[in-house]
């Protein structure tokens, strides 16, 4: 594990910000590291406001999209809301269909079958639209590369509005409107929206046209916050505002589907991390194990009793998913070891019987184990399909572009992508991908990195600091919970391993001149010898509140020791 201490920002800027906010320079340093350099920026960071959201009509083609939807409503056309089968796609469909149905009844939804149709806009989906008299399709979280499919629809008299956030290709589909902040000709100020975020901008634009106040859209933000967390987009700019209010909605007045999931977890308050690891996997499980339409049904259900029954079914899907995930991960790790590929720059594995619905999770597990750009392939019809995951700092999408002649189709982001190719291309692709990555990756990126915000002493740890740090939330990419490093620590003499198998480390730590502070290190049980016998050690940690038997105290959440 590499420890990298972030550079200290300009001391004059830090001091000026600390003085204006009346906070410690440590807090000001953390803010400056996050691009916040003055009082107004800090105010916007700590107190996000809905009026901080950008004008949706700044997005290229937004006026065209709104005009086409209004014309469809006025002329009584049937509208199909189409989305991908993952969390971003299903929440997008739930958001758009719920909003449009509040204005107009002729709304249908469509989620492609992961196994029969695959990712994105499908010919089957367009045929469904034609068979059901639909003349306008709003595609969410997909469609930016669906040039052939959109042309096919146009031949049938069906218009498309694309709401996507993936990187466009050299050509755009011939749609009525293509909403994607990553378009080169789009001057929208914020580029990191997820698919559901782009969908929200469209309903924000429609709401503006209808004369609605932005606060009337609050009930939709639980969906947007869930998509932001699940799609691992940066929680900066507009995403921070949307996530902040969406989490408030989840914790205070969630839709029936989320309430039903929350009831199963027995958890009192949800953070973005909880959304990522508790809510999102359950929503995803429907599309992975059965069909994404089950997720949309849950997220649009208004009866709590019905939602509870649906959530129970989705919980069964999630339990099944966990078993497959573990089984396939073990098989994939064994394949790497048997092929003696542990020292390669990449991990590329394939088995025709692996469940397509969990290969993305397995790719993430392999990346955690070997910390390499990773692809997990399985059979999908007469093709091979793969999910790709990357390591911090390496753009796997660009690496796939370097292998484009060995791939039939691919799309995605810097750290996650999907692709399909023929079985005859697999061996060639595997070696090409290894060569492309080996030639372009900085070897340092193949060792996991902990980015440390600041070096501190334990004497700086206080309840006031913890209260201020809590206001840095929601945490996620672009705004991780601050990590600190403290040096020459010692155990108070009671260090021990905890947990059923002794995987975790529990201890009290002191530093010269400081009071003891409790600490917990999950999956750090193997580090017990590092801290025993009065030895000095360094630690990287986050600060958290620990409640035990009614008593609340500050605790170090250890990330690594040395």
Tally the C-alpha atoms within 13 A of residue 25's C-alpha that lie toward its C-beta.
11
Exposed, middle or buried: residue 381 (CB in 10 Å: 0-12, 13-18, 19+)? exposed
- Spell out the residues 6+ positions from residue 190 whose beta carbon is closer than 8 angstroms to its own: 54, 181, 237, 238, 239
The count of other CB atoms within 10 Å of the CB of residue 81 is 28
Q: Is the dihedral of CA 126, 127, 132, 134 positive or negative?
A: positive
* Helix, strand, coil percentages, rounded to 5, for the chain: 45, 20, 35
**Cα(488)–Cα(534) distance, rounded to whole angstroms?**
11
Q: Is the dihedral of CA 535, 539, 543, 549 positive or negative?
A: negative
Exposed, middle or buried: residue 427 (CB in 10 Å: 0-12, 13-18, 19+)? exposed
**Maximum CA extent, the chain:** 80
Helices first, then strands: H and E counts in the chain: 20, 19
Mean pLDDT of the chain: 94
Q: What is the dihedral of CA 254, 201, 43, 455, to 10 degrees?
A: 80
Can you say how many angstroms the Cα of residue 230 is from the centroid of all Cα atoms in its chain? 3
Residues present in the chain in total: 562
The per-residue pLDDT for 79 is 98
Rounded to two decimals, the pTM is: 0.89
C-alpha distances in angstroms, 495 versus 457, 526, 554? 20, 12, 17
**pLDDT tens digits for 58-89?**
999 999 999 999 999 999 999 999 999 899 99
The per-residue pLDDT for 1 is 86
**pLDDT tens digits for 355-404?**
988 999 999 999 999 999 999 999 988 899 999 999 999 999 999 999 99
Going from the N-terminus, what domains does the chain have, and what CATH number goes with each?
2-7+450-561 (2.40.50.460), 56-251 (3.90.1640.30), 342-446 (3.10.310.30)
SS3 511: coil
**pLDDT tens digits for 158-188?**
999 999 999 898 999 999 999 999 999 999 9
- Spell out the residues 6+ positions from residue 343 whose beta carbon is closer than 8 angstroms to its own: none
pLDDT band for position 245 (cuts 50, 70, 90): very high
C-alpha distances in angstroms, 310 versus 256, 295, 390? 10, 9, 34
**Cα(345)–Cα(373) distance, rounded to whole angstroms?**
7
Nearest-10 crossing angle of helices 293-300, 304-338 = 150
The count of other CB atoms within 10 Å of the CB of residue 251 is 17
What is the token pair recorded at 299? 């997220």
Tell me which long-range contacts 312-319 makes (C-beta under 8 A, separation of at least 24).
312/264, 314/261, 314/282, 314/283, 314/285, 314/286, 315/264, 315/282, 317/282, 317/285, 317/286, 317/288, 317/289, 317/290, 318/281, 318/282, 318/285, 318/289
pLDDT band for position 17 (cuts 50, 70, 90): very high
Exposed, middle or buried: residue 216 (CB in 10 Å: 0-12, 13-18, 19+)? exposed
Nearest-10 crossing angle of helices 25-33, 11-21 = 120
Q: Residue 267 pLDDT > 90, yes or no?
A: no
The per-residue pLDDT for 115 is 78
pLDDT band for position 146 (cuts 50, 70, 90): very high
Cis peptide before 474 (omega within 30 of 0): yes
Give 539's strand partners: 486, 561
**pLDDT tens digits for 288-338?**
777 889 999 999 999 999 999 999 998 888 888 888 889 999 999 999 999
Write out the DSSP string of 44-87. Answer: HHHS--GGGSPPGGGSTTHHHHHHHHHHHHHTT-EEEEEE-SSH
**pLDDT tens digits for 193-235?**
999 999 999 999 999 999 999 999 999 999 999 999 998 899 9
**pLDDT tens digits for 441-462?**
999 999 999 999 999 999 999 9
The torsion angles phi and psi of 178, rounded to 5 degrees, stand at: -120, 105
Nearest-10 crossing angle of helices 195-209, 237-252 = 80
**Cα(100)–Cα(454) distance, rounded to whole angstroms?**
48
């Amino acid at each position: 594990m590499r420890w990298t201490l972030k550079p200290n920002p300009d001391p004059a800027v830090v001091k000026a910000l600390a003085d204006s906010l009346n906070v410690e320079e440590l807090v000001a340093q953390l803010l400056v590291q996050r691009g916040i350099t003055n009082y107004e920026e800090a105010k916007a960071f700590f107190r996000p406001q809905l009026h901080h959201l950008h004008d949706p009509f700044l997005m290229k083609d937004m006026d065209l999209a709104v005009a086409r939807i209004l014309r469809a409503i006025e002329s009584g056309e049937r509208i199909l809301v189409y989305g991908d089968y993952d969390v971003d796609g299903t929440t997008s469909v739930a958001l758009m269909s719920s909003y449009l149905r509040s204005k107009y009844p002729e709304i249908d939804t469509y989620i492609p079958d992961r196994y029969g149709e695959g990712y994105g806009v499908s010919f089957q989906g367009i045929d469904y639209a034609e068979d059901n008299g639909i003349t306008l399709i709003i595609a969410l979280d997909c469609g930016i590369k669906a040039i052939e499919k959109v042309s096919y629809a146009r031949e049938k008299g069906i218009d498309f509005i694309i709401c996507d956030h993936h990187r466009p290709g050299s050509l755009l589909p011939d749609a009525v409107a293509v909403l994607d902040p990553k378009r080169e000709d789009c001057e929208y100020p914020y580029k990191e929206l997820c698919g559901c975020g782009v969908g929200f901008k469209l309903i924000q634009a429609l709401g503006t046209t209808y004369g609605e106040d932005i606060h009337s859209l609050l009930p939709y933000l639980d969906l947007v916050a869930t998509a932001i967390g699940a799609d691992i987009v940066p929680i900066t700019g507009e995403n921070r505002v949307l996530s902040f209010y969406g989490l408030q909605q989840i914790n205070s007045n969630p839709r029936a589907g989320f309430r039903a999931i929350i009831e199963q977890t027995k958890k009192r308050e949800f953070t973005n991390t909880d959304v990522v690891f508790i809510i999102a996997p359950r929503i995803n499980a429907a599309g992975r194990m059965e069909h994404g339409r089950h997720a949309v049904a849950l997220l649009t259900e208004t009866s709590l009793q019905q939602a509870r029954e649906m959530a129970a079914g989705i919980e069964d899907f999630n339990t099944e998913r966990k078993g497959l995930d573990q089984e396939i991960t073990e098989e994939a790790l064994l394949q790497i070891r048997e092929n003696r590929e542990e020292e390669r720059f990449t991990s590329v594995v394939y088995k025709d019987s692996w469940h397509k619905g969990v290969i993305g999770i397995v790719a993430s597990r392999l990346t955690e184990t070997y910390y390499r750009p990773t692809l997990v392939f399985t059979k999908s019809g007469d093709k091979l399909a793969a999910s790709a995951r990357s390591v911090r700092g390496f753009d796997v999408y660009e690496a796939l572009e370097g292998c484009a002649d060995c791939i039939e189709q691919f799309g995605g982001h810097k750290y996650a992508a999907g692709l399909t190719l023929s079985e005859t291309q697999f061996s060639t692709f595997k070696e090409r991908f290894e060569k492309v990555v080996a030639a372009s990756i900085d070897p340092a990126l193949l060792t996991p990195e902990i980015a440390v915000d600041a070096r501190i002493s334990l004497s700086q740890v206080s309840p006031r600091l913890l209260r201020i740090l809590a206001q840095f939330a929601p945490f996620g990419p672009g705004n991780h919970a601050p990590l600190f490093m403290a040096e020459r620590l010692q155990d108070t003499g009671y260090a021990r391993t905890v947990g059923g198998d002794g995987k975790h480390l529990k201890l009290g730590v002191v530093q010269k001149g400081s009071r003891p502070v409790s600490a917990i290190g999950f999956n750090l049980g193997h580090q017990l010898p590092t801290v025993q016998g009065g030895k000095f050690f360094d630690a990287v940690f986050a600060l958290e509140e620990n409640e035990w038997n009614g008593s609340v105290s500050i605790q170090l959440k250890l990330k690594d020791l040395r």
